[in-house]
Amino acid sequence: MTFAELANKGISTQPVYEAGKPIDQVARELGLDPAGIVKMASNENPHGSSPKAVAAAERALRELNLYPDGGYYALRSKLSRKLGLGMDQFIIGDGSNEIIELLGHVFLAPGVECVMHQASFVVYKLVTLMFGATPVEVPLVNMRQDLRTLAAAITPRTRLVFLASPANPVGATNSAEEIAELVRALPPHAILVLDEAYADFLDNPPDLRPLIAEGRKVICLRTFSKIYGLASLRVGYGYAAAELIALVQRARQPFNVNGVAAAAATAALDDDDFVARCRRENRAGLAQLGAGFGKLGLEFVPGQGNFLLVKVGEAGRIFAALQQRGLIVRPVKPYGLPEWLRITVGTPPQNERLLAALADVLRS
């Protein structure tokens, strides 16, 4: 018997996540100097990491011989104070991606369905398929997520409804009212997973805590990978009713997040200055890129995350040509958007370089 024959059903056909290309790989493949390459492909923070987080991570390096506090007391108690929720309402994950997988362990199995938008974050579909459940994808309406269409796709078999706002890779944002209406429309057997990975970039992100307090079925996911600039450490969290969190806690490994990451994340929560600066710079960068795309006559989705989705036509060719010029962006053909590129907001000079290269490449 082959290994594939011995493997669980579905694993051989399980799709694989395609990440943005690392700088070193592009340098190797194209014979470029890595120092001259700019990556605008994975929505990473161009301003580095929260300095408070880095200092805490350095201190934590002195205790690598010890297992971390598997209950993540310091991080959960700080989150509890910051968000005004009980400590038992938080789960810490190895990136918020892990929490999506943990929800799969708790709620998904063959025969159940997960509802999501087309071109939504691919991890929702990957986790759904991994547990043998069925993804149900609803179309975007003019590159926007229509939440009534999403609600209409819920059936008696639906367990999880995935929604990111701002959405990735599309970038569009749903209002607090739309999201609240969706939550109120959920039948008792469906749970909304609201992915707030980019909510930190909004001035007034929707606040679902009152709906959680009312007993509505929703879990919110946040990450330290984006505005806090800690993508490499892999840490995120979810908050929800204590009863739901207790179930998700059962599905995780005892020390799922490493101690360096937990210490850095705890310190990052105090770094309001860094967050405010990144939010301000990001808003300016969105305006800079948007104005540049407009000048080039390119259609783009007016996103509010730290990236923009722009329609360039032959996206494969443009992507390759930009890469030749040392600029890594993200083709979104795997999301069914073959004419579009997703471009992460960089520093002002990086944005300028991208716009100049794009103008050049579009002309040739």
Ligand X SMILES: *Cc1c(COP(=O)(O)O)cnc(C)c1O
Residues that bind ligand X (CB under 6 A): 43, 95-97, 121, 164, 168, 195, 197, 223, 225-226, 231, 236
Strands 113-117 and 158-164 come out as parallel
Q: Contact at 8 Å (CB) between 213 and 201? A: no
Q: Which residue is nearest to ligand X (CB)?
A: 95
Residues 6+ positions from 233 with CB-CB distance below 8 Å: 57, 224, 258, 260, 261, 264, 265
Q: How far is the CB of 90 from ligand X (least distance, A)?
A: 15
The C-alpha atoms of residue 330 and residue 38 are separated, in whole angstroms, by 12
Closer by beta carbon to ligand X, 257 or else 357: 257
Closer by beta carbon to ligand X, 96 or else 256: 96
Q: How far is the CB of 76 from ligand X (least distance, A)?
A: 17
Q: How far is the CB of 42 from ligand X (least distance, A)?
A: 8
Q: How far is the CB of 57 from ligand X (least distance, A)?
A: 16
**H-helix or E-strand spanning residue 195:** strand 191-195
Closer by beta carbon to ligand X, 93 or else 326: 93
Closer by beta carbon to ligand X, 128 or else 168: 168
The C-alpha atoms of residue 94 and residue 92 are separated, in whole angstroms, by 7
**H-helix or E-strand spanning residue 223:** strand 218-223
- The single residue listed with the structure tokens 């471009």 is 343
Q: How far is the CB of 46 from ligand X (least distance, A)?
A: 15
Q: Contact at 8 Å (CB) between 119 and 332? A: yes
Closer by beta carbon to ligand X, 226 or else 252: 226
Q: How far is the CB of 169 from ligand X (least distance, A)?
A: 8
Closer by beta carbon to ligand X, 226 or else 325: 226
What are phi and psi for residue 142, nearest 5 degrees? 50, 45
Q: How far is the CB of 222 from ligand X (least distance, A)?
A: 8
Q: How far is the CB of 282 from ligand X (least distance, A)?
A: 14
Residues 6+ positions from 3 with CB-CB distance below 8 Å: none
Question: Cis omega (within 30 of 0) on the bond before 166?
Answer: yes
Question: Cis omega (within 30 of 0) on the bond before 46?
Answer: no
Q: Contact at 8 Å (CB) between 127 and 163? A: no
For residue 64, what are its two tokens?
A: 């690598």
Closer by beta carbon to ligand X, 192 or else 357: 192
Q: Which of 212, 215, 214, 213 is nearest to 196 (CA)?
A: 212
Q: How far is the CB of 95 from ligand X (least distance, A)?
A: 2
For residue 47, what are its two tokens?
A: 């301003």
Strands 90-93 and 236-239 come out as antiparallel
